């Protein structure tokens, strides 16, 4: 890039560059990164298509382009990610929220939204995206977010403040339910690590910058489901729901683990946008 570069010219060049690099959403990536440089909404780019960028803006944008080409996700570069229509702060200390995880939140809101006293436990909360979205859309609900990572909990606390739900949530640093104080919940949700040892050898460039602890679920990807099936019933009300996200092809094994405990019965499987079983809804018997 040199001389005078307008917003429109920069977007066109970047889109073509990202296409050559095999990025799935080259135009969207270009727009989000440039809007972040300019501290504007994306709509601003089209209302000011012929506006030139100054040298400082171009330098910052070049850096972002290089990072994206090198495998960093857009969310990692700009430090935020949209989820359930809300903006969440993210960092390399947390898993970047995925669109398919929104289906879990939508299910709870649709099926439990009329209840007055929901108390929700989110195990492996990370950025807090699941729990905080639920609290945002269920204004009478309260929640507890658990994570083994203090750095992840710091991000979650920041998001809670930004969304204005910090008075209805508490955070606990612990390994799943280990040594958790006695309390009962209406719903337990979790998007645990579920990648296998083989999966970890073939991560996409973007996923490689997510924390390994939020990805690796043991040799067969099922380590955390084994523990969830055993540890969670003691904290769930009778007929309460435990909803977990799963990896591709794990439905049968996860069902066996939860029903083997004789505490849970499977009531629904939620398919994602690719018709893959993505979330499993268990009810405590």
Residue ranges for the known binding site for substrate are 191-194
The total of other beta-carbon atoms located within 10 Å of residue 30's CB is 27
The 3-class SS string of 258-283 reads: HHHCCCEEEEEEEECCCCCEEEEEEE
Q: Tell me the three state secondary structure of residue 21.
A: coil
Binding-site positions read 124-128, 147, 191-194
CA angle 36, 37, 42 (to 5 degrees): 45
What is the rounded distance in angstroms from the CA atom of residue 270 to the CA atom of residue 230? 22
Q: What are phi and psi of 246, to 5 degrees?
A: -130, 165
Is the C-alpha dihedral spanning 89, 94, 98, 103 positive or negative? negative
Residues annotated within a binding site for S-adenosyl-L-methionine: 124-128, 147, 191
What residues contact residue 49 under an 8 Å CB cut-off, 6+ apart? Answer: 6, 7, 8
Alpha-carbon span 73 to 210, nearest angstrom: 9
Nearest to 258 by CA among 235, 239, 280, 279: 280
C-alpha to C-alpha distance for 168 and 153, rounded to whole angstroms: 15
Contact criterion met (CB below 8 Å) for 263 and 284: yes
Give the distance between the most distant pair of CA atoms in the chain.
Answer: 70
């Amino acid at each position: 890039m040199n001389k005078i570069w307008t917003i429109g010219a920069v977007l066109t060049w970047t889109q073509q560059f990202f296409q050559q690099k095999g990025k799935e959403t080259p135009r969207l990536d270009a727009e989000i990164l440039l809007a972040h440089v300019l501290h504007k909404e994306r709509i601003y780019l089209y209302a000011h298509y012929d506006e030139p960028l100054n040298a400082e803006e171009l330098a910052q944008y070049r850096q972002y382009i290089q990072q994206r080409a090198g495998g960093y996700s857009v969310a990692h570069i700009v430090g935020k990610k949209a989820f359930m229509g809300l903006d969440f702060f993210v960092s390399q200390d947390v898993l970047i929220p995925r669109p398919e995880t929104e289906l879990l939140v939508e299910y709870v809101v649709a099926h439990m939204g009329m209840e007055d006293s929901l108390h929700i436990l989110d195990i492996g909360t990370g950025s807090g995206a699941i729990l905080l979205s639920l609290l945002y859309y269920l204004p009478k609900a309260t929640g507890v977010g658990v994570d083994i990572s203090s750095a992840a909990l710091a991000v979650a606390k920041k998001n809670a403040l930004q969304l204005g739900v910090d008075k209805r949530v508490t955070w606990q640093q612990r390994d799943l339910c280990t040594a958790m104080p006695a309390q009962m919940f209406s719903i337990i949700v979790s998007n645990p690590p579920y990648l296998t040892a083989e999966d970890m050898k073939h991560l996409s460039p973007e996923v490689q910058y997510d924390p390994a602890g939020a990805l690796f679920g043991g040799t067969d990807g099922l380590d955390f489901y084994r523990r969830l099936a055993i540890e969670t019933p003691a904290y769930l009300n009778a007929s309460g729901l435990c909803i977990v996200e799963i990896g591709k092809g794990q439905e049968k094994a996860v069902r066996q683990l939860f029903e083997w405990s004789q505490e849970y019965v499977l009531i629904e499987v939620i398919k994602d946008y690719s018709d893959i079983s993505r979330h499993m809804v268990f009810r405590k018997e």
